[in-house]
Amino acid sequence: MANENLLKGVECPRCGNDEQFTIAATVWLDLTDDGTVPSEEPGRGDHEWDHDSVMECPKCNYISRYGAFLVNSPHGHVRSKAT
Ligand SMILES: [Zn+2]
């Protein structure tokens, strides 16, 4: 079944997997001397990625930039609200 949400137009160029990926996204953290916790500041709860974010296909271990996984996608940027 074709993806209709965050993975719409995303597919592994090596094996065709379109079910799940691992991506190195950017996330805001509160940093202290003791460590880090996810920031609860307004507008900082998102995690985001773009065409240059590193992504891996868990089925064949192909690693490339997110943009390399796009298939005919008009989107230049993807953002997801953290839960
Ligand atoms: Zn793959």
pLDDT interval class at 83 (50, 70, 90)? very low
Cα–Cα distances in Å, from 49 out to 1, 34, 35, 41, 63? 24, 27, 23, 19, 15
pTM of the model: 0.74
CA of 71 from ligand 1 middle (Å) equals 14
67 vs 81, residue with greater confidence: 67
pLDDT tens string 9-29 = 899 989 999 999 999 999 999
CA of 83 from ligand 1 middle (Å) equals 27
Mean pLDDT of the chain: 86
| Average pLDDT over every residue of 34-50 | 89
* pLDDT of res. 35: 97
CA of 27 from ligand 1 middle (Å) equals 25
CA of 13 from ligand 1 middle (Å) equals 7
CA of 14 from ligand 1 middle (Å) equals 5
* pLDDT of res. 28: 92
